[in-house]
Amino acid sequence: MANTQSAKKRVRASLRKRDRNRSTRSAVKTLVSRARRPALPDAASLTSEEVRRAISALDKAAEKGVLHANNASRRKARLMSALAKLTPAAEATEKAPAKGKAAKPPKTKARS
């Protein structure tokens, strides 16, 4: 048990911080698990919105010091790769040029 006034105050402060950190960590875990839920193909926008919320919560937790910055970064990378695996076909069809319309590299003139 703490004997000095300052040690007792630190114990009280650490208990307050512990409660606040636990609630933040719990909220982050909830948002990440919601984002990881398997989504229906027609609800892809909902999934990306959930991922956006989870990433925002991870950033805020890392900024406050509740999570280590590398831990938050790793979790964000895993979320983004999972999201990319869910919708690779939809993005590929939007970005791919039509057949026969491929962009040709510009011709360069020979210098003399």
- Domains present along the chain, CATH in parentheses: 5-95 (1.20.58.110)
Contact call for residues 58 and 32 (beta carbons, < 8 A): yes
Average pLDDT over residues 55-73: 96
How large a percentage of the chain has pLDDT more than 70? Answer: 71
CA angle 41, 43, 45 (to 5 degrees): 115
- Of all residues in the chain, what percent carry a pLDDT higher than 90? 54
Average pLDDT of the chain?
83
Predicted TM-score of the model (pTM): 0.67
The answer, yes or no, to whether residue 107 has pLDDT greater than 80, is no
End-to-end, the C-alpha distance of the chain in Å comes to: 86
